[in-house]
Chains A and B, each alone.
Chain A
Amino acid sequence: MKIAVVVQRYGAGINGGAELHARYIAERLSRHATVEVLTTCAKDYLTWKNEWPVGTETIRKVTVRRFPVSKPRDTADFGRRSAGVFDHTHSLNDELQWLDSEGPRSPSLIAHLHKVRDDFDFFLFFSARYYHAWHGARAVHGKAILVPTAERDPAVGLSMFGPLFRGVRAIMYNSLEERALINGVSANQSVPGVVVGVGSEIPDRTQPWRVRKKFNLKRPFAVYIGRIDENKGCKTLFDYFERYTREFPRGLDLVLIGNAVLKVPNHPRIRSLGFLSDEDKFDALAAADLLIMPSPYESLSMVALEAWALGKPVLANGQCDVLRGQVVRSNGGLYYDSYDEFAESMFALEGSGPIGAVLGRQGREFFRRHYAWSVIEKRYLEMFDKLKRDTATSTPEPWPGWWARRQKNLPPARRVVDNVPSGPVLR
């Protein structure tokens, strides 16, 4: 079996959620099939500037073929077009221009997909919202499997994604909430789909004392891992935590791991360690009492899965359907909708508290049951087998004509998403 993994960026040093997800899947599937990664030369997800050379290389035993991005992203233009399609009535042509503006626009990658269509059994497209997935899935119709990594943001509500979600051979969802959202916006229940998610490279042994000594972490602490950004809910987290420190002078400290886009408050109980190696990250996670996930938008939190793998409870933002659903389904943590719930949950989850260890244990069991690599690989392979057996061919949905594409009659994408019922899927 030969499989192509198509993703917007790829590299050992890229830690973005979808890109890391793609790399893990490519490396794991390469044990069962011939895998080739088709990607761009971009390294930065904001500019999509070509930073890697065009051509082929091997990363961790996986062949990677890179194609140039035809033009970097114009941030102002993208912002303007986003406002137009998200908040106003617009045309299909506006959406296509938005997709071009978002990038990474790489016509040579799409041309290559047309060319090698018959060389591969399946093409796994990661991140539905980008140029490569939308154009690529059309280029290899009948062989495209989508890993949408979709969050509850307005982009999912764009009309042009409906045919994509309905036209691929199968969809590998990250969570039940993601599947409910995509089913809601595109009515694609007939497309084979399975909730898979992704595993993680959990070290066999961690050394929490080592990271405590290295960073002089003397007190018990909660850890946040990820980009320190307002969009990730960090501002609210800082507000809540500063209030918590006033009320609980002997409570937990907060340790932040990741690059800071947002200014970290100068507070004696908040420590920002910056971007750490995987070894340090896992040691810090093992040393922490709990992991905090304040992000209101997530399709799947790999860090939360890693915390559960290490038996640590997770305190999640209750506004994020996916995180809340995972926390409830796993019984591996708590969630908060207000400051009071945040403070109470922090107390409940700390190491010397009554339930933190029990929830951590249940989270670890949840991880083993659903996110162990053996489970993930099995689900992918089962899906490939199923699709191979199912020889039914589908025809792509007819594409609107020149005039129809310019009719401004599509509803604002935000309204489309808002109309889809929200909330965690508990059953």
Chain B
Amino acid sequence: MSDMQVKADAVDVEAIMRQIRARVREKRGVDYTEGEVQELAKVKLEQFLDPKGVRSDLVEQFRRRRPVSAAPPNYAFEDDTIYATHRGLLRTMRRLLNPLLKLLFNPQPIAEALHIQSKVNADYHERFRQSQEMDTLYYELAHNLALEVTRLGIEVHNLKMRAESLSSRMDFDERRGRALESVVQYRPPQPRQSPPPAPRPQPPAPTTLVPPPSSSPASAPAQSLAVDGTTPPAPGTESANAGDAERRRRRRRRRRRPGQTMGDQNGATSGAPAEAETADWVAEGGHESSDAGPDEQ
């Protein structure tokens, strides 16, 4: 990702805005204007993308809408069904006249067809009943899938946001780091509050300059002190000096902690030392507001 390019003392706002828009395009892929976003919103695209839009009450919906399906009417059709009657005399007459009927046309295929149809109807009803039971299962399955899709959708959304956040933080830190580096690079060197003593001709190096092969890294500070011309510490005080140096380093690091401001410094201490510390910190590129008036800034 490119950094903001500032090449002159005077900057052009429109040029910066073009850079910002380019950066946004780079980050988002597409640069929609507010108007275009409004247009998209009108299409209700979110209804399709938002996992919250998936219906998760399919089973309830199905059960509510499912009709109470009673068995459809059917009939039993046998060979003698067309002659059947509860009146005995009539049944006898039909049987007597049956040969005459068969002389005119053959009712047997009709009876067989209706018999088969009756069986088909019964079979169809059975299959329909089984299908309805399967539908319930399918709806249960769809419901579970919808729930899973919803969960996954939310999880993906969260992960995306997290990734975006991490990416932004990293980008932010990187750019802040570069900005601070550039400030440090181009600032004229400023004198420290307590400048180190001017270098002076060193006396012949003491024998401690060459560390003994068995010397441990902890003895390094003592050696450097000896190089500066100071008296090497006694073995008993060596660890104490090392501890002091470590504490000083820690204090310096605390002073340079990002986000800490003059207000912190003043909150902790007051008077000239705090200002001196802040001046140091500003010289190192830290954030600080000037307390000078408009004409003095």
Q: Which residues does A use to contact B, with CB under 8 Å?
A: 202-209, 212-213, 216-220, 246-251, 286-289, 309-311, 327-328, 331-335, 337-338, 340-341, 344-345, 347-348, 350-355, 358-359, 362, 364
Interface residues of B in 253-291 (CB under 8 A from A): 258-264, 266-267, 285-291
Among A205, A207, A250, the residue within 8 A (CB) of B258 is A250
Can you name the residue of chain A whose Cβ is closest to the Cβ of B168? A247
Within 8 Å CB of A353, what residues of B?
4, 176, 179
Within 8 Å CB of B168, what residues of A?
247-248
List 20 additional contacts besides A250-B258, A286-B289, A338-B34; criterion CB under 8 Å.
A203-B293, A212-B266, A218-B259, A218-B261, A220-B259, A220-B287, A248-B168, A250-B173, A251-B172, A286-B290, A287-B289, A310-B297, A334-B13, A338-B32, A340-B24, A352-B176, A354-B4, A355-B4, A355-B6, A355-B16
B294-A310 in contact (CB<8A): yes
A348-B10 in contact (CB<8A): no
Within 8 Å CB of A217, what residues of B?
263
B267-A204 in contact (CB<8A): no
Within 8 Å CB of B262, what residues of A?
208-209, 212
- Given A247-B164, A331-B13: A340 touches B28 (CB 8 Å cut-off): yes
B94: interface (CB < 8 Å): no
B111: interface (CB < 8 Å): no
Within 8 Å CB of A331, what residues of B?
10-13
Can you name the residue of chain A whose Cβ is closest to the Cβ of B262? A209
Can you name the residue of chain A whose Cβ is closest to the Cβ of B288? A351
Within 8 Å CB of A212, what residues of B?
261-263, 266
Interface residues of B in 140-173 (CB under 8 A from A): 164-165, 168-169, 172-173
SS class, residues of chain A in contact with chain B: loop
- Given A209-B266, A219-B259: A334 touches B287 (CB 8 Å cut-off): no
**Docked complex Cα distance between A337 and B285 (Å):** 31
Q: Which residues does B use to contact A, with CB under 8 Å?
A: 3-4, 6, 9-14, 16-17, 20-21, 23-24, 27-28, 32-34, 37, 164-165, 168-169, 172-173, 175-176, 179-180, 182-183, 258-264, 266-267, 285-297
B13-A250 in contact (CB<8A): no
Among B13, B20, B34, B293, the residue within 8 A (CB) of A205 is B293
**Docked complex Cα distance between A263 and B285 (Å):** 37
**Docked complex Cα distance between A204 and B294 (Å):** 7
| Most central of B168, B180, B266, B294 by chain A CB within 10 Å | B294
Within 8 Å CB of B297, what residues of A?
310-311, 364
Can you name the residue of chain A whose Cβ is closest to the Cβ of B25? A340
**Docked complex Cα distance between A336 and B260 (Å):** 28
- Given A334-B13, A337-B33: A218 touches B263 (CB 8 Å cut-off): yes
**Docked complex Cα distance between A87 and B269 (Å):** 62
Among A204, A219, A350, the residue within 8 A (CB) of B295 is A204
Within 8 Å CB of B173, what residues of A?
250
Q: How far is the CB of B20 from chain A (nearest CB, A)?
A: 5
B266-A347 in contact (CB<8A): no
Offer 19 A-B interface pairs, CB within 8 angstroms, sorted by A.
A206-B291, A209-B266, A212-B262, A212-B263, A213-B266, A218-B264, A220-B259, A220-B261, A247-B165, A287-B289, A288-B289, A331-B10, A344-B24, A348-B4, A351-B288, A352-B179, A358-B9, A358-B10, A362-B11
Within 8 Å CB of B260, what residues of A?
218
**Docked complex Cα distance between A68 and B74 (Å):** 94
Q: How far is the CB of A315 from chain B (nearest CB, A)?
A: 11
Within 8 Å CB of A352, what residues of B?
176, 179-180, 183, 285-287
| Most central of B12, B261, B262 by chain A CB within 10 Å | B261
- Given A246-B165, A334-B20, A341-B21: A289 touches B287 (CB 8 Å cut-off): yes
**Docked complex Cα distance between A347 and B4 (Å):** 10
Can you name the residue of chain B whose Cβ is closest to the Cβ of A246? B165
Among A209, A311, A362, A364, the residue within 8 A (CB) of B10 is A362
- Given A208-B289, A248-B168, A351-B287: A359 touches B11 (CB 8 Å cut-off): yes
**Docked complex Cα distance between A411 and B33 (Å):** 30
Within 8 Å CB of A359, what residues of B?
11, 13
**Docked complex Cα distance between A202 and B294 (Å):** 8
Can you name the residue of chain B whose Cβ is closest to the Cβ of A329? B13
Can you name the residue of chain B whose Cβ is closest to the Cβ of A328? B13
| Most central of A205, A209, A213, A333 by chain B CB within 10 Å | A209
Within 8 Å CB of B11, what residues of A?
331, 355, 358-359, 362
Q: How far is the CB of B152 from chain A (nearest CB, A)?
A: 22
B267-A213 in contact (CB<8A): yes
**Docked complex Cα distance between A206 and B172 (Å):** 31
Within 8 Å CB of A209, what residues of B?
262-263, 266, 291
- Given A205-B293, A248-B169, A358-B10: A344 touches B33 (CB 8 Å cut-off): no
Can you name the residue of chain B whose Cβ is closest to the Cβ of A330? B13
Q: How far is the CB of A284 from chain B (nearest CB, A)?
A: 10
A333-B292 in contact (CB<8A): no
